[in-house]
Amino acid sequence: MVDFIIWLIVGAAAGWLAGIVVQGSGFGPLGNIIVGILGSIVAGFVFGLLGIAFIPGLIGDVVFAAIGAVILLVIVSKIRRA
């Protein structure tokens, strides 16, 4: 249960950071959590392909997920415009 709560907190922080970086793409608190969690999956896939390991620890997890969330938000914003 504690792991799930930490996962939600990391997702929320990552989604919030990504919303700041990619302005105009905020989805609200629940949307930010979802974007952050999906962003961590995207980052895991992209960084895995590139052979890049992430920084261990809570801050590393947030940074890792935020980078993936930014990638995800950029893709979503491109699709919205099309």
DSSP 30-71: HHHHHHHHHHHHHHHHHHHHHTPPPPPSHHHHHHHHHHHHHH
pLDDT the model gives residue 25: 56
pLDDT the model gives residue 26: 59
- The domain of 14 spans 2-81
pLDDT surpasses 70 at 74: yes
- If one counts the domains in the chain, the total is 1
The pLDDT tens digits for 11-47 are 888 888 888 888 765 577 777 778 888 888 888 788 8
Burial of 1 (0-12, 13-18, 19+ CB in 10 A): exposed
pLDDT surpasses 70 at 58: yes
Note whether 44 and 14 are within 8 A (CB).
no
